[in-house]
């Protein structure tokens, strides 16, 4: 089982961000941590210590915005309430301006993986995105993280930024690969409702830079990272061998996970099925009742099958069809023969002896492919 902990605070919201996050004063953050610790304690009692936790992920927002005392309180609540595997992957997302002392504190507390949001090395792109850091501040953070003892660092890169040229992206990727982080997440910018970018660029379909250019930048990223020793293991994620994100792989392989904090989602087993739930998204409600749910539903067998297919196809290894048959008592082909044959004829999927994977063309048309497996 995995645990996700949502810290919904940041110094300033980025222009592209539609996550449940935003600025808050110290009083609200302190109250939130108290509520979060209460939720962790209650959920831990409900679940018990029988389940081994293989991954804990502090996401946001910007989790590193909390004070050391607040971060320590949340971390200790998790450690006290749940049974963490000896080799558990424990990640925290950090802002490049976190500071050397805080990074050393994170390592001493027990975090063993960092995710740093760099996005770009160019000041013009960082300013356009609404980032509050410079490349030099990111570089200092990366060096400090190594000094603190972090041997598993992930760096975020953004492509298809308005005005981004191939040369600009090449310079960003060159500086990233020079640092040799263990993991790189590379996401194409998409315009989401409710963001400053939506107001600026309007309700457009697809990337601002155009589909053709976005794909060119994407495959340039893939080729560059692969040529520098990174395994392309998921559509947007790359890792040195053995450093694939355990937490993200858990999502794509439908490992059960418990979401804690404002708006956090969970997928937990109950009576032979999976229950998908989401915590309240109202900060006022959460502070008074951190157990409040906004929605909860029992997934049908068909829904679990669909998720297994379209989430599994995000992985370059694809869907393990043998494992699928063991779990559901029927083969992928018996359910989707016509769909598979049609997509294979179009060059979008490849069916191996025990796997179903996207082709390169299938990656370009991933959303279309995924939709074919929804009943």
Task: Kindly state whether residues 21 and 98 are assigned to the same domain.
Answer: yes
Torsion (CA) 234, 238, 243, 247 in degrees, nearest 10: -40
Record the tokens describing residue 252, joined without a space.
Answer: 């794509």
Query: For position 375, what pLDDT does the model report?
Result: 82
Task: Kindly state whether residues 70 and 211 are assigned to the same domain.
Answer: yes
Domain contains 262 = no
Task: Kindly state whether residues 225 and 340 are assigned to the same domain.
Answer: no
Domain contains 292 = no
Domain final residue, candidates 212, 228, 251: 251
Structural domain that includes position 320: 300-375
Domain contains 341 = yes
List of long-range contacts for 221-224, beta carbons under 8 Å, 24+ apart = 221/157, 221/159, 221/169, 221/173, 221/186, 224/170, 224/173, 224/174, 224/177
Task: Kindly state whether residues 355 and 222 are assigned to the same domain.
Answer: no
Rounded Cα distance between 217 and 236, Å, is 12
Q: Any idea which residue has 């995995």 for tokens? A: 2
CATH number at 369 reads: 1.10.10.920
Task: Kindly state whether residues 171 and 308 are assigned to the same domain.
Answer: no
Task: Kindly state whether residues 215 and 336 are assigned to the same domain.
Answer: no
**Nearest Cα to Cα of residue 112 among 95, 86, 91, 98:** 91
Which DSSP state fits 300?
P
**Nearest Cα to Cα of residue 171 among 205, 125, 129, 132:** 125
Domain contains 290 = no
Domain contains 280 = no
Positions of the chain with pLDDT under 50: none
Domain contains 276 = no
Task: Kindly state whether residues 225 and 112 are assigned to the same domain.
Answer: yes
Which DSSP state fits 335?
H
CATH number at 108 reads: 3.20.20.70
List pLDDT tens digits, range 88-98: 999 999 999 98
- Say how many Å lie between the first and final Cα of the chain, rounded: 28
Query: For position 194, what pLDDT does the model report?
Result: 87
Query: For position 205, what pLDDT does the model report?
Result: 67
- Phi first, then psi: give them for residue 68, nearest 5 degrees: -60, -40
Domain contains 265 = no
Task: Kindly state whether residues 50 and 188 are assigned to the same domain.
Answer: yes
Task: Kindly state whether residues 97 and 223 are assigned to the same domain.
Answer: yes
Q: What is the CA radius of gyration of the chain?
A: 21
Rounded Cα distance between 12 and 25, Å, is 12
Task: Kindly state whether residues 118 and 229 are assigned to the same domain.
Answer: yes
Domain count, the chain: 2
- Beta-carbon contacts of 276 under 8 Å, excluding residues fewer than 6 positions away, are 265, 266, 267, 296, 297, 299
Task: Kindly state whether residues 224 and 338 are assigned to the same domain.
Answer: no
Domain contains 273 = no
Query: For position 48, what pLDDT does the model report?
Result: 86
Domain final residue, candidates 217, 251, 285: 251
Domain final residue, candidates 211, 232, 251: 251
Task: Kindly state whether residues 47 and 155 are assigned to the same domain.
Answer: yes
Q: Nearest 5°: CA angle at 160, between 203 and 217?
A: 140
């Amino acid at each position: 089982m995995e645990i996700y902990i949502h810290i919904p605070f940041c110094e300033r919201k980025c222009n592209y961000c539609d996550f449940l996050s935003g600025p808050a004063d110290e009083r609200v953050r302190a109250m939130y941590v108290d509520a979060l610790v209460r939720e962790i304690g209650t959920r831990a009692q409900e679940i018990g210590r029988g389940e081994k936790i293989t991954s804990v992920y502090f996401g946001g927002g910007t989790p590193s915005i909390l004070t050391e005392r607040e971060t320590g309180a949340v971390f200790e609540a998790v450690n006290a309430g749940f049974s963490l595997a000896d080799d558990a992957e424990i990640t925290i997302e950090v802002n490049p301006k976190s500071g050397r002392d805080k990074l050393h504190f994170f390592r001493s507390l027990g975090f063993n993986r960092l995710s740093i949001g760099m996005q770009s090395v160019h000041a013009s792109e960082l300013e356009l995105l609404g980032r509050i850091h410079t490349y030099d501040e990111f570089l200092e953070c990366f060096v400090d993280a190594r000094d603190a003892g972090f041997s598993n660092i992930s760096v975020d890169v953004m492509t298809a930024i308005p005005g981004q040229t191939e040369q600009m992206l090449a310079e960003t990727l060159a500086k990233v690969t020079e640092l040799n982080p263990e993991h790189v997440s590379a996401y194409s910018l998409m315009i989401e409702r409710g963001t400053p970018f939506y107001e600026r660029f309007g309700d457009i379909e697809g990337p601002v830079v155009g589909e053709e250019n976005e794909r060119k930048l994407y495959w340039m990223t893939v080729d560059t990272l692969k040529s520098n020793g990174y395994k392309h293991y998921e559509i947007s994620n790359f890792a040195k061998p053995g450093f694939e994100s355990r937490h993200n792989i858990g999502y794509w392989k439908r490992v059960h996970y418990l979401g804690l904090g404002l708006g956090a989602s969970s997928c937990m087993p109950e009576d032979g099925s999976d229950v998908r739930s989401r915590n309240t998204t109202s900060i006022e409600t959460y502070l008074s009742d951190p157990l409040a749910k906004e929605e909860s539903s029992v997934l049908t067998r068909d829904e679990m099958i669909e998720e297994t297919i379209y989430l599994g196809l995000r992985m370059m290894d694809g869907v393990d069809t043998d494992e699928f048959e063991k779990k559901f008592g029927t083969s992928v082909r018996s359910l989707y023969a016509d769909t598979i044959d049609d997509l294979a004829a179009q060059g979008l999927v490849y069916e191996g002896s025990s796997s179903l994977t996207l082709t390169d063309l299938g990656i370009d048309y991933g959303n279309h492919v995924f939709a074919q497996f929804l009943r």
